[in-house]
A and B are shown apart, each in its own frame.
Chain A
Amino acid sequence: MPVQEIIQRCEELFEDLSFSSVRAWKEAEPGRKVVGYMPIYVPLEIIHAAGMLPLGILGGGDALEVIHGDAYYQSYICRIPRSTVELGVTKRLDFVDGMLFPSICDVIRNLSGIWKLMFPDVYTRYFDTPQNFRSDIGGEFYVNDLRELVSGLENLGGRKISDDDLRASIEVYNESRRWVRKVYQFRSEQPWKVPASEVYLLMRAGQTLPVEDHTQMMKDYLAAVENEDRRMKDNCRVIVNGSFCEQPPLGLIKSIELAGCYIVDDDYMMINRLITEDVESEGDHLLNLSEAFIKHSMAFPSKFEPNGEVQGHYLADIVKQRGAEGVIFAAPSFCDPALLDQPMLANVLDERKIPYIAFQFAENSGQMQPIREQAGTFADSIKLWSAA
C-alpha cells in the first residue's frame, strides 16, 4: 500500500470527530463495548483482554467548535477538558461504554468526577498509577488497582477476563510497541523519509483502530516509506517536549517542519510507547503489567522522580540518544505538569549546552506564522552554531 493511501486513512480517522470507524466496529457484533481513555497512560492490555476496544480521547482539536464546553471551564484552564466535555454533550461519545481518566493532573482527575455527574450510565473510573516505585509497596497497590479495573470491566462486559485473554493481549501490545519503537527509530535515522506530521497521524490512528490493525498499518507504512523518494534536507534535528496531553493542531507540527526542523522525538501519544520493554507474558499478568510500569516506563512530568540526582535529565538524555541538536518546548497553555517541569528540564539543557526555545499553544491555535518564525530562527541559529 502506498504511503499516500495509509496517511490518507489516518487523516480520515483523525478528522472524524464522530468516530465512525469505532462505531462501525461496535455495531459489527452485538455486545461489543468501547472504553475511552485520556492521556497519558492506561493499561490497554486489560481493555483488550475484556474484548473491548480502547479509544483514545485527545480533545477536539482545531476543527471542533466548542459551544457548551466553555460553560464548564474557566478561561484559565487548558482546553482539552472543555472540548472533551463538548464531545460528550454533543453525543459524539454516546457509544462509549466506559471512560478511564488517568492520574496525570488535577484537571483530568476532576474531569473523572464531571463525567460521573454528567454521564452516570457510563462506567467511569479514575485510574491511579503509583508514585512509589518499590514492587512491594507501589507495585502491590497497583496490582490491586489493576484487579479493580479488571473486575469493573468484567461487570461492564458481562464476562470473565481469563489468564489466557490477558496473556494474548499482552503479546499483542508487546508487538505493537515493538513496531512503534521501530517507527521512532526509523524516523530518528532517516527523518527526511518520515515527516513528523505523518508519524503523528500514524500514531494517532492507534488511538482509534484495533491494535492489530494499527500494528499492520505501521508495518505497511514502514515498508512503503522505504521506497519513497524523499530527499534529505538541510534541516536541524529537534525534540518536541510538553505536548503529552492536549494536542497541538496538526498545522503546528507541520509548521515546525516547514521551518527547517526534523522532529526526531516527541511526547505525543505517550501511551503507545510509555512502556519501554516487552511486558513479561508468563506468570501473574497483573503483576507483570505492574512491574512493567514500575520498572520500565518512560519519565513524564506527572511521575515522581525519586532520585534527585537525575531530576530533569530524561529530556537531555533523549537529545543525546537521538543525536538531536535542540529542543522545542511546546506545552499547552495552563498545563501545570508541562510548565512546572519545563524549568527543571531547561536547567539540565543549559548545563549540557543544548539550545532550546519555548512557546505555548492551545489545541485550536490558529496563528502559525509566529511559531514558524520562531522555529525558523531557532533552526537557523542551530545551523550557524554547528557551522561555527
Chain B
Amino acid sequence: MNTETKPDVVKDASMLKQKEMIAGNFDKLTDAKELGLKISSTFVPGNLNELLMCFGIVNNLPEINALNNAMRKQSGPMIQDAEKMGHSEDVCTYVKADIGMMSRGNIAPNGKPMPDPDVLLLSYTGCYTFLKWFELLREQYKCPTVMLHVPYQGDGKAEITQNMRDYVIKQLKEEVIPTLEQVSGVKFDIDRLRENLKNSAKAEDDLVWVLESAKNKPSPIDAYFGGVYYIGPIFTAFRGTEDAVEYYRLLKGEIAERIKQGLGPVTPEGEVFEEKYRLVVEGPPNWTNFREFWKMFYEDGAVVVASTYSKVGGVYDYDGFRHDPDHPLESLADYCLGCYTNRNLPERTQMLVDYMEDYQADGLLVNSIKSCNSFSAGQLLMLREVEARTGKPGAFIETDLVDPRYFSPANIKNRLESYFQMIEQKRQSGAVAA
C-alpha cells in the first residue's frame, strides 16, 4: 500500500493553519522579485528569523527544500546529478540535494522557480558542513555572504561562556546587521526585533507545553514523526510571527483536548493507535520514506515521547531557554549557542538520559544518519552510556536523510521488531523480578 499518496485522515485547525503558512511563504519566496522582497538563504539551526523579519527579508532554508524534495521522491535524482557534477558520494546528501535542485531549475513546491538569494546568512551553528555548503552556493549565486560563527559548547559543563556570547553579539552588531541593512535598504530597528522576540517567546511556551504533553500516558503526541510537524513553524520562517503564535495556540488547544479524551497521537492513518512502547529517539528522521518509516512504529504501538531532532533548531524545553525581548541580541546569541548539535556529547548524552527518565520511556532508539557527522559521530558511545545509566535497552538503526539509496525497509523493520520484543522481554523479566 502506498501510504505516501493517502490523504491525511485528520485535519485539525492547526494543520490547516500550518499548511496555509507554508504555502504562503513559498509564494512569497517565488514571487519575491515582483513583490520587491529580498531573500536570504540560511540554515535551520541558529536561524535568525526574528532579525531577518526586521529587514523584511524572506527566509529560504535549503534543508527544508531538500527534505521537501525527498518527501516528494525527487531528491534521489538530484543527489545523483550533484555526484555527476563531481561531488563525492561520501559527503552530506543535503548539500548534494540542494546543488542538484539548483541544476534542475530550483523549482519550489508550488511549481514556480525559486529566485536566487540576495544574501547567504551563514549561521554556522552545530555543523561544519554548513560552511562548505554556503561556500559552494556562493560560487553559484555570487551574492553577499555573511558568516555568523557560533562557537561550539565544547567544555562539557553545559555552559555558555561570556566570551562566546560576546563574540556572537559582536558579529551580529558589526557584521550581520550591517550586511542585512545594506541588502535590504532598511535601517535596523531594535524595537521591531523586541516585538518579534515577544512573539517567539509566546510560541515557544506553547511549543514546550505540547512537547511536554508526551509525559502523559498515553502520550497525546508523537514527538518525533508528529514532532516534525509541531516544530515546523518555529524552526523555519515563522518564529517571531503572529501566525506562529496562533498556530501554537491552536495546537495546544487540540492537544489539551486529546489529553482530556485519553487519546494517543494522530497518525497519517488516523486514530489507530494503542500505546505499547514509549521511546526516546536520537537523530534526524529519514525523509525519503517518512510515512513508511513512521508506520513501522505506530503499527506496533510504538510512540516516540521525546526526540533530540526536535531540538535541532532550538532547545526550549530542556533548560528553559526563551527568546527575550528585554535582551534581544543576547538572546539571539544564546539561542544559537544552545541548539542541540552545538552541545557537546556528554551534554547530549545527559539530555537523553533525562528524557528517558522524565518521559518514562522504555528505551532509546538511535536513527543514525549516514550524511550527518554532526549528529552521528559518537552516537554508538552515547547509546551505550544511556543504556548503562538508565538500565533500559537501546537500539541502533541506520538510514539517510534524503538519499533513498540508504533506506532499507526490510532491515529496519526487522531491527525494530526485534527491538520491541526485547523491550517486552525486559518488561516481563522486570515484572517477574519484582
Which A residues contact B (CB, under 8 angstroms)? 71-74, 76-77, 81, 101, 103-107, 109-114, 116-118, 124-128, 130-132, 134, 136-138, 140-141, 144-145, 148, 301-302, 304-306, 308, 311-312, 333-337, 339-344, 346-347, 360
Contact = CB atoms under 8 A, between A and B. Distances in A.
B377 A111 contact: yes
A120 B377 CA distance: 19
Q: Which of A76, A134, A306, A341 has the most CB of B within 10 A?
A: A76
B124 A131 contact: yes
A81 B385 contact: no
A117 B385 contact: yes
Given A114-B381, A132-B171, A301 B132 contact: yes
A339 B88 contact: yes
Contacts of A137: 167, 170-171, 174-175
Given A117-B346, A128-B154, A110 B145 contact: no
A312 B139 CA distance: 10
19 contacts: A72-B381, A74-B368, A74-B376, A76-B370, A104-B128, A106-B128, A109-B152, A117-B349, A125-B154, A126-B155, A136-B170, A137-B171, A304-B135, A334-B90, A339-B91, A340-B91, A342-B88, A344-B136, A360-B90
Contacts of A337: 128, 132
- Give 5 nearest A-B pairs by CB, closest first: A113-B345, A126-B154, A340-B132, A131-B149, A141-B167
A110 B378 contact: yes
Contacts of B377: 73, 77, 81, 106-107, 110-111
Given A113-B378, A140-B166, 15 more contacts: A74-B370, A77-B373, A106-B129, A109-B154, A113-B344, A113-B345, A114-B345, A126-B155, A126-B344, A131-B147, A132-B167, A140-B167, A144-B163, A336-B132, A344-B139
Given A74-B380, A308-B139, A106 B127 contact: yes
A356 B27 CA distance: 44
B381 A138 contact: no
Nearest to B375: A106
A103 B129 contact: no
Contacts of A343: 85-87, 136
Contacts, number: 169
A132 to B, nearest CB: 5
A305 B145 CA distance: 10
Contact of A126 (B87, B152, B349, B370): B152
Interface in B162-181: 163-164, 166-167, 170-171, 174-175
Interface in B70-96: 85-88, 90-92, 95
A339 B86 CA distance: 10
A111 B129 CA distance: 17
Given A77-B373, A81-B377, A128-B151, A116 B344 contact: yes
Contacts of B185: none
Nearest to A334: B90
Nearest to A76: B370
B142 A336 contact: no
A77 B174 contact: no
A117 B135 contact: no
B156 interface: yes
Contacts of B167: 130, 132, 137-138, 140-141
B295 interface: no
Size category of the B interface is: 35 or more
Contacts of A106: 127-129, 373-374, 377
A73 B380 CA distance: 7
B346 A116 contact: yes
Interface string B269-311: 0000000000000000000000000000000000000000000
B123 to A, nearest CB: 12
Q: Which of B122, B127, B151 has the most CB of A within 10 A?
A: B151
Given A107-B373, A131-B124, A336-B129, A117 B345 contact: yes
A118 B345 CA distance: 11
Contacts of A105: 128, 373
B28 interface: no
Nearest to A118: B381
A113 B149 CA distance: 20
Contacts of B368: 74
Nearest to B349: A117
A138 to B, nearest CB: 7
A144 to B, nearest CB: 4
A311 B154 CA distance: 29
B113 to A, nearest CB: 23
A331 to B, nearest CB: 8
A107 B152 CA distance: 13
Contacts of A136: 170
Contacts of A114: 345, 378, 381
Nearest to B92: A336
Contacts of B163: 141, 144-145, 148
A113 B128 contact: no
A200 B340 CA distance: 39
Contacts of A145: 163
Contacts of B419: none
Nearest to B133: A340
A313 to B, nearest CB: 12
B398 interface: yes
Contacts of B138: 308, 311
A344 B131 CA distance: 13
Given A110-B373, A117-B345, A126-B344, A340 B378 contact: no
Interface in B204-244: none
A154 to B, nearest CB: 16
A49 to B, nearest CB: 21
B91 to A, nearest CB: 5
Contacts of A126: 152, 154-155, 344
A98 to B, nearest CB: 13
Q: Which of B85, B128, B129, B166 has the most CB of A within 10 A?
A: B128
Interface string B332-362: 0000000000001111110000000000000
Nearest to B343: A113
B146 to A, nearest CB: 9
A153 to B, nearest CB: 14
Given A145-B163, A336-B129, A138 B149 contact: yes
B135 A344 contact: yes
Contacts of B131: 131, 302, 304
B17 to A, nearest CB: 35
A360 B91 CA distance: 13
A81 to B, nearest CB: 7
Interface in B22-66: none
A107 to B, nearest CB: 5
B346 A311 contact: no
